[in-house]
Structure 1
Amino acid sequence: MKLELGHFHVKEVTFGDFTRFENGVLTINKEEALAVVREDEHITEADLVIARPGEEKRIVPVKEAVEPRCRVNSKFDNYFPGVTGSDLYQVGEGRSHALKGCSVLAVGKHWGSFGDGLIDMSGEGAQWSYYSQLINVCLVADTDEEFERHEQQKKNHALRWAAHRLAEYLGRCVKDAEPEEVQTFDLPAVTKREQAVNELPSVVYVIQTMTQMEEEGYNDLAYGWDLNKSIPTYMHPNEVLDGSLIGGSFMPTSSKWATYDYQNCPTIKALYEQHGKTINFLGVITSNLNVALVQKERSALFVAQMAKSLGADSAIVAEQGYGNPDADFTACIVALEDAGVKTVGMTNECTGRDGRSQSLVSMDPKSDAIVSCGNVSELIDLPPMKEVIGELAALSRDGMSGGWEGDEILGPSVREDGSIIMENNAMFCGDQVMGWAQKTVREY
């Protein structure tokens, strides 16, 4: 499979009469863009707000992030097969164009939910999220759900899918343009590689997708298919980079992966960089995160069998979430080790606000090589921002992970002056287990 990604580097975003990209400036016709958003009749209010790096802006509640993209020389107009449009087709081959350095954010205008988060575009808070480095086109919208606080998957679906359509609309403005650079991802079939490559240590990348909810509307999707209804699956890495996977809306936000993260997965890109040099990159296995113990054990067995059948010498296992998913994470590592596949795990930790809780719910002596991407319980105290995009009250009012209405010691998450205190839990995609966390280890 050979995928070419044409890059157009966005240095500024503004509104104007036409949607176009020229000399590093993305101009958006707001009315046209909002017409795409309002294709869903459940969306009653919508606006677009631009948030640039360094601006004193706080965005909350953030539900989804998508990189604007389009397909080139393709008979299909929708970028996300099985999700937008009606066409279902194979991705990962051919040419796609991407507007780099920007994202489309789905932001709730009123109510938030457990899986929503916060982004600060400047100050100390900006250090906690990768998205503070991007120019964000914020789709701030609301829906007509009568019981929206109790039917969050419906509200999230409307706003998140609108963000996907908006990202496609913006991406199409560079469909016929010549990119500034082209990044090529070319990985032959496992059995069709040169002998020199086959003699290198072989690595498989295991992505533990969010699949815990039996009710639809919360889980990660593959080609539009709810992965709760799936078993672990082998995928070509190009499929992941090219729109096959959609991020879910249930996982606590610092631990989850947005669609943007799948589109730009740094670990896949790093493995590609070393392929044929130091390793033989075999591909990706998507693994489930379920609730019942037998489901966890079944998934682990499937992952180990696939890795062994592919001839993997080693594996990287990336966990989405914490708590209950820790059992899936450990079971997967143990099953791989038992199959003779040396495994490194990537995850975050949950120590509790007092630091006394067990970092991972489930551990095993065989899970002896783990990369920590942060502590979801770490307290973050941030000053007010000049502008709030969305609704700041959602952080304390709506059961967002990492926020609270009141605490006998810490008080409310949102103070009267607009300053906040929260757990890292509420930082949108803050821990970035997929590979580009901004955190590091410091020795004292």
Structure 2
Amino acid sequence: MKLELGHFYVKDIVFGSETRFADGVLTINKEEALEMVREDERITEADLVIVKPGDMVRIVPVKEAIEPRFRVGGGPVFPGVTGDLMQAGNGRTLALKNMSVLAVGKHWGGFQDGLIDMGGEGAKYSYFSQLMNVCLVADTNEVLEQREQQKKNRALRWAGMKLAEYLGKTVADQTPEEVETFELAPVTKRTDGENKLPKVVMVLQPQSQMEELGYNDLVYGWDANRMLPTFMHPNEVLDGCIISGSFMPCSSKWATYDFQNYPMIKRLYQEHGKTINFLGVIMSNLNVALEQKERAMLFVASMAKNLGADAAVVAEEGYGNPDADYTGCLVALEKAGIKTVGLSNECTGRDGASQPLVSMDALATAMVSTGNVSELIQLPPMPVVIGELESLARDGLSGGWDNDAILGASVREDGSIIMENNAMFCGDQIVGWSTKTMVEY
């Protein structure tokens, strides 16, 4: 399977009379784009706002991030979701780099939504402050969800994907500035040199805990809660076969943008044929019942062993209940004789003194932490707010609160905020490009 990702580097984004990309500038016909968004009758209000790194802007509630792309030769960017089902990971896909489309609620937030500061002290907490972002700020008629803690955010998420495809079409007939090629031969047809190297598999545990459909990550449009662990080509992940769900506390979330650019997968690709033989991806899931968790662990360990894996990297989207799936998978792989490294954040409490993972085991000896979800963050007022700042305190964002006996409300009268890292949009970047570093005391 061979995937070519053609890169177009966006240097600026502006509004204009025609939607096009030329000389590094993405021009958007705002009314035309919004007319397309409003074709979904669930969208009651919508606006587009452009923000850039360094802008003194706070965005909340952020629900999703997507990289604009175009699939050469036809077909949807997200097979089984925005169009017919087809194989992802082959051929050529064009991408607008240095930017994303952000789906932002005009009013209502929820447990799974987050915050981004584009400038100031808060910018360091989210990767997306480094990008130019086209914010789709919208409200919907999904009234039943407005005051619910858990929201499917379906209308806004789908509108964001539709807008990303609309913008991606601007480069349909152009030659990319750079082409990134990803190619792996079938596992049984590797070269002698590759076969002599340590065989490594990547195990992904995307969020799939909700038994009710509509909240979980989708794989080719299929709810990941209904999956059993499945062996997949890494190109499929990089080429739109997975979209993000709307369940996970936000700092632990993997946005669709993250799947499209998964840094850890790219890092394993870089070492393939040099220091490792990268076998591919085992797509697992996160379950609720213990029996379901144990079944998934057995599938993952058996699959990795029969692929001949010597080592594995396991990444968990989430914390808390999913920790049992995560550490259980690490232990099952170690018991199968496969050396395993885990990637996750941790929940050590606001004082950093609590047990970092719900489930611990002596066999889990190699884990990389991407930060504490409960760390308190205080930020000064921001001159401009996109969305609705009150949602952070009012609507049950996982790191916000409407009142605390000691700390007060997350949103103060002067517009300054106090919150847990939990509410920072994709703040822990478990996928592999965290901006955080370790400090030794």
Does the TM-score normalized on the shorter chain lie above 0.5? yes
**Structure 2 CA distance for partners of 1:75 and 1:293, relative to 1, 3 Å:** same
Could you tell me how far apart the structure 2 residues matched to 1:329 and 1:255 are?
Answer: 14
* Counterpart pick for 1:403 among 400, 404, 411: 400
* Paired residues for 1:15-94 under 5 Å: 15-72=15-72, 74-76=73-75, 78-85=76-83, 87-94=84-91
Matched, 1:9 2:9: yes
Contact preservation (8 Å) 2:314, 2:342? yes
Question: How far apart, CA to CA, are the structure 2 residues paired with 1:152 and 1:192?
Answer: 49
Q: CA deviation at 1:186?
A: 0.8
Q: What amino acid is the match of 1:82?
A: G
Q: CA 1:311–1:184 in structure 2 vs 1: closer, same or farther (change >3 Å)?
A: same
Q: Does the residue aligned with 2:201 lie in a helix, a strand or coil? A: strand
- Residues 177-326 of structure 1: matches in 2 within 5 Å? 177-326=174-323
Q: C-alpha separation between the residues in 1 aligned to 2:336 and 2:98?
A: 41
Q: Which piece of structure 1 moves more, 248-257 or 30-39?
A: 30-39
Contact kept in structure 1, 2:110 and 2:151, CA below 8 Å? no
Q: Please give the per-residue CA displacement for 1:354-388, whole angstroms capped at 9, x wherever unaligned.
A: 33321100000000100000000100000011100
Greater Cα offset, 430-439 or 143-152 = 143-152
Total equivalences in the alignment: 441
Q: CA deviation at 1:146?
A: 2.6
Q: For 2:248 and 2:152, locate their aligned partners in 1 and report how far apart those are by CA, in whole Å.
A: 16
List runs of 5+ in structure 1 lacking aligned partners: none
How big is the shift at 1:31? Answer: 1.3
Query: Structure 1-normalised TM-score?
Result: 0.98
Unaligned runs of 5+ in 2: none
Name the counterpart of 2:119.
Answer: 122
Is the CA contact (8 Å cut-off) linking 1:145 and 1:154 kept in structure 2? no
Q: Is the CA contact (8 Å cut-off) linking 1:253 and 1:426 kept in structure 2?
A: yes
Calculate the TM-score normalised by the size of structure 2.
0.99
Question: How much has 1:153 moved relative to structure 2?
Answer: 6.5
State which of 349, 369, 390 in structure 2 corresponds to 1:352. 349
Runs of 4+ residues deviating >3 angstroms: 150-155
Assess if the C-alpha contact under 8 Å between 2:147 and 2:395 holds in 1: no
RMSD over aligned Cα atoms: 1.0
Aligned residues with identical type, % of pairs: 72
Quick one: distance in 1 between partners of 2:120 and 2:301?
A: 44
Counterparts of 1:229 and 1:316 in 2: how far apart (Å)?
23
1:383 equivalent to 2:380? Answer: yes
Q: Kindly indicate whether the alpha-carbon contact (under 8 Å) linking 2:351 and 2:375 is maintained by their aligned counterparts in 1.
A: no
CA contact (8 A) 1:43 1:142 kept: yes
Superposed counterparts of 1:324-335, under 5 Å: 324-335=321-332
What residue is the counterpart of 2:390 in the other structure?
393
- Report SS of the residue matched to 1:147: helix
The CA deviation at 1:150 is: 4.7
Match of 2:105 in 1: 108
Secondary structure of 1:97's match?
strand
Matched, 1:341 2:343: no
Q: Deviations over 1:280-313 (max 9, x none)?
A: 0000111111110000000010000110111100
Aligned with 1:160 (options 147, 154, 157): 157
CA contact (8 A) 1:145 1:155 kept: no
Cα separation, partners in 2 of 1:437 and 1:140, compared to 1, 3 Å: same
Contact 2:151–2:215, Cα closer than 8 Å, also in 1: no
